[in-house]
C-alpha cells in the first residue's frame, strides 16, 4: 500500500493538473460569456485556481517531490450551459481530489491548508450551481 506521503503527492499532482486544465479553459470560456457578472465570477474562480496551482506545487516541493502533473481533458466547450456544466464537473472533481489529499496528509498545517482549498472549491461549486440555476 502506498504511504501517506506517496498518496498525498499523487493527489497533489492530480490537483495541479486539474488546476492547470481549468486555467487553460477559463479564458477561452470567459471570452464567450456575454453576461458581465458571470464573466466577473469566472475571473474570480480563475484567480483562486492560480493560487491553488501555486500552493499545490509548493506542497509537492515541501514533500521532496517534483511537480509531474499531466493536463486533463482540454476540449473547449461552447455555449454558456455547456461551459458552466464542464466547470461544475471540474469543481466536483477538485473537491474530491483535495479530500483525497486531506485524508493522506499527516501534517496538521498541510491538512489545514488543504481544507481551506477544498472549502474554496466547494464555494466555486455552489457559485456554478447557482449560475446554472439562473439560466
Nearest distance, CB of residue 119 and Fe ion, angstroms: 10
| Cβ-based burial of 101 (10 A; exposed 0-12, middle 13-18, buried ≥19) | buried
Interacting stretch for Fe ion, rule CB under 5 A, among 28-36, 72-80, 85-93, 107-115? Answer: 85-93
Q: Is 14 in the site for Fe ion (CB under 5 A)?
A: no
Cβ nearer to Fe ion, comparing 29 with 124:
124
Least distance in angstroms from the C-beta of 56 to Fe ion? 8
Cα–Cα distance list, 27 to 22, 40, 44, 86, 131 (Å): 9, 11, 12, 14, 18
**Closest listed residue to residue 44, CA positions, set 134, 115, 128, 112:** 128
Give me the least distance between CB of 20 and Fe ion, in Å please. Answer: 10
Q: Catalog residues that contact Fe ion under the rule CB under 5 A.
A: 49, 52, 91, 121, 124
Amino acid at each position: 500500500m502506498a504511504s501517506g506521503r506517496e498518496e498525498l503527492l499523487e493527489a497533489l499532482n492530480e490537483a495541479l493538473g486539474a488546476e492547470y486544465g481549468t486555467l487553460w479553459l477559463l479564458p477561452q470560456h470567459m471570452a464567450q460569456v456575454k453576461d458581465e457578472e458571470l464573466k466577473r465570477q469566472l475571473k474570480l474562480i480563475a484567480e483562486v485556481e492560480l493560487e491553488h496551482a501555486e500552493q499545490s506545487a509548493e506542497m509537492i516541493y515541501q514533500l521532496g517531490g517534483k511537480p509531474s502533473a499531466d493536463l486533463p481533458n482540454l476540449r473547449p466547450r461552447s455555449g454558456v450551459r455547456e461551459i458552466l456544466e464542464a466547470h461544475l464537473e471540474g469543481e466536483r472533481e477538485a473537491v474530491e481530489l483535495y479530500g483525497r489529499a486531506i485524508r493522506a496528509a499527516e501534517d496538521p498545517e498541510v491538512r489545514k491548508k488543504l481544507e481551506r482549498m477544498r472549502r474554496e472549491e466547494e464555494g466555486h461549486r455552489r457559485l456554478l450551481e447557482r449560475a446554472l440555476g439562473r439560466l
